[in-house]
Structure 1
Amino acid sequence: MKNLFPLSLNSYQLPFHWVTKGVAGLQIILVNVYFIRQVKDGQMHWFLVDAGLGRCALRIKKAAEFLFGTGTKPEAILLTHGHFDHIGGLASLAREWDVPVYAHPLEMPYLTGQSSYPPPDPSVGGGSLAALSSFYPKSPITLGAQLLPYPADGRIPGLDEWQVIPTPGHSPGHVSFFRESDRTLIAGDAIVTVKQASFRAVVKQQQKVHGPPAYFTCDWQAAQDSVATLARLEPEIAACGHGRPMRGAPLREQLTHLSHHFEELATPRHGRYVHHPAQANETGVVQVPPALPASKSTQIGVAGLAALAGFSLAWWGKKWVKDRSFK
């Protein structure tokens, strides 16, 4: 299988990971973005999947120039969904590159200023990042005419080998991308390969197939159905929004096991959206169930975790920039 990226990708001390033919990932602290390269009729084109955390636009741009050359820009930006950690650099990149931004119609209200996402649920997930989720941004951003819906047939213009797979649950219009020829899956947050609720697990990048990050998942039945959809694809490689790529039999076995035991392994025992999902349509959120009351001890614990995790993220971010900044 020919690698369409530099074979020495990892020797530059950049947070890249080569996924497979024509697909490279870039880790931006807690989240991944992906670069898809396609050569057609002798011409090279590339696409960006998701846009990372806030203030990362320059980092993504310099990574793209490292991969594709100075002054490069993608054919389009493809969104799995519009949560804050996947669109941080989007407005800046879309403005500078002046390229289309594709999203599912059910995600568009959160990208056009019409609606905020359903509130996160800090009572689920069982980790510090989950406990802190009530502090995460959920307000919409406002893009202009560059924002387009994915075509109804699930084919992306200029990216013929890939299929858009609706995988709602984590967000109303979440999608994944699948290339049949080598069974490559870019899953966004429909599944992840690290326990995203746990700051410790994220830092250590402990690899295992998990369901979507619980604190933002607003429809658990839809999330379960989406995992079943992905399991039926029998992917050879899965590249997710959080965690390192997984491949081969371990991936398929863990994904199938998760699909068959989703309620036990992924669905929380209690939570705001466990029994009553958020209701949303193409105008945005229609109805959300009431929040569960938090105990006083939980509130104190969240305050402590906020201080600790804030300090840790600040330290880690400085270390990341020092050790891995683009030259």
Structure 2
Amino acid sequence: MVNQIALSDADLAPVKKSADGTSVIATDLAYRTMSIVNVVFYGDPTRPGPWVLIDTGLSTSSDRIKACASLRFGDNPPAAIVMTHAHFDHAGSVESLAAFWDVPVFAHPLEAPYLRGQASYPPADPLAGGGAMTLLSPFYPRSPVDVRPRLKALPADQTVPGMRDWKWLHTPGHSPGHVSLWRESDRALIAGDAIITTGQESAYEAIAQTPEMHGPPRYFTPDWEEAEKSVALLASLEPELIVSGHGAPVKGQNMRDQLHHLAASFRDIAVPTGGRYDLDPAKPAKSGNDTFR
């Protein structure tokens, strides 16, 4: 089974390194890689107005995120923190940052149990293949964080607080309440982990960040049926730019072609045959897993 689709340097979106430590993709869109995961900053630092933090990295990322934000936006706190999902590498600093800035945290209602201390994610899948990251996955944190009372549900009309012209899309599979963010005007997609643009299954892949088109990280995806539907949805948008939770931003026609290839051959490319959740997905409240407890 081929578990990735190669991209080239020509598919990488042009970025400009900023003095605040971020990589700037557009006037109002920048990201910073914190160890193995990307944290996204939305907002134009040259104009007064709200800015938004999308995801919060590992538990060790808090000080670096605050330093970047201070350099980029001054003393202006974010209007909100928006969570694509609450896995440990995306929600590791959400408690400390939300308290420091005293700002709301927005997430899909199905992700709320993992953000208010009520539920642990299903066990990782060490049979998903690929290398050390997968083999070590049973030791990664699954316990919830707790950002009550700052936690709020994303608006039902799919608008994104503090992010004019963006809408959120429910893209489950990697987690029940996973969301991606979409701006139609320039076809920009913040995909979280619904799609990633580098391999995460081996330590070498995670460090090298070779551009590739992948489904969600295999060892932490408990519902491949939903993940396949989510990738098909994102491919149907025909994005011009993808900023994912892992890997460099990618752009252009070849990227779209490879995204369609991933969607069309998802089970052959993305799903770990014989893995824990290959034929037996873990769903919320399903008997035999501790997604909700």
TM-score (norm 1): 0.81
Number of positions where the alignment pairs a residue of Structure 1 with one of Structure 2: 277
Residue 189 of structure 2 corresponds to which residue in structure 1? 185
Answer whether contact 1:38 1:159 (CA < 8 A) is retained.
no
Matched, 1:287 2:287: yes
Q: Name 2:65's counterpart in structure 1.
A: 60
Structure 2 distance, partners of 1:287, 1:28, is 36
Sequence identity (%): 47
Cα root mean square deviation, aligned: 2.0
Which residue is 1:293 aligned to? none
| Cα distance between partner residues in 2 of 1:128 and 1:261 | 26
Report the structure, 1 or 2, having the larger helix content: 1
Over 3 Å counting, the alpha-carbon distance change for 1:288 and 1:160 in structure 2 is farther
Q: Which structure is larger by alpha-carbon Rg, 1 or 2?
A: 1
For residue 43 of structure 2, what is the amino acid of its counterpart? R
Query: How far off its partner does 1:254 sit?
Result: 1.1
Matched, 1:44 2:49: yes
Q: Which amino acid counterpart does residue 231 of structure 1 have in structure 2?
A: A
Q: How do residues 143-162 of structure 1 correspond to structure 2 at under 5 angstroms?
A: 143-162=147-166
**For 1:33, what is the secondary structure of its paired residue?**
strand
State the Cα distance separating 1:113 from its structure 2 match.
1.1
Whichever residue aligns with residue 270 of structure 1, its letter is G
Q: Which residue of 1 aligns with 2:279?
A: 275
Q: Which runs of 4+ in 1 moved over 4 A?
A: none
- Shift in alpha-carbon separation, 1:25–1:288, aligned structure 2, 3 A: farther
Paired residues for 1:219-238 under 5 Å: 219-238=223-242
State the SS of the aligned residue for 2:168: strand
Quote how far apart the aligned CAs of 1:20 are: 2.3
Would the alpha carbon gap of residues 8 and 157 (structure 1) be closer, same or farther in structure 2, given more than 3 Å must change? closer
* Cα distance, 1:253–1:157 mapped onto 2, change above 3 Å: same
Q: Which amino acid aligns with 1:218?
A: P
Kindly indicate whether the alpha-carbon contact (under 8 Å) linking 1:273 and 1:289 is maintained by their aligned counterparts in 2: no
Equivalent residues of 1:33, 1:49 under 8 A apart:
yes
Q: 1:177-200: per-residue Cα shift (whole Å, max 9, x none)?
A: 000000000000001000111211
How far apart in 2 are the matches of 1:213 and 1:264? 15
Distance 2:238 2:80 in 1: 27
**Larger relative contact order (C-alpha < 8 A, sep ≥ 6)?**
2
Structure 2 unaligned segments of length 5 or more: list them.
1-13
Mapped partners of 2:235, 2:15: distance in 1: 32
Normalised TM-score (structure 2): 0.90
Equivalents in 2 of 1:253, 1:50: separation in Å?
28
**How far off its partner does 1:17 sit?**
1.9
Query: For residues 297-308 of structure 1, what are the structure 2 equivalents within 5 Å?
Result: none
- Alignment-derived partner of residue 265 in structure 1: 269
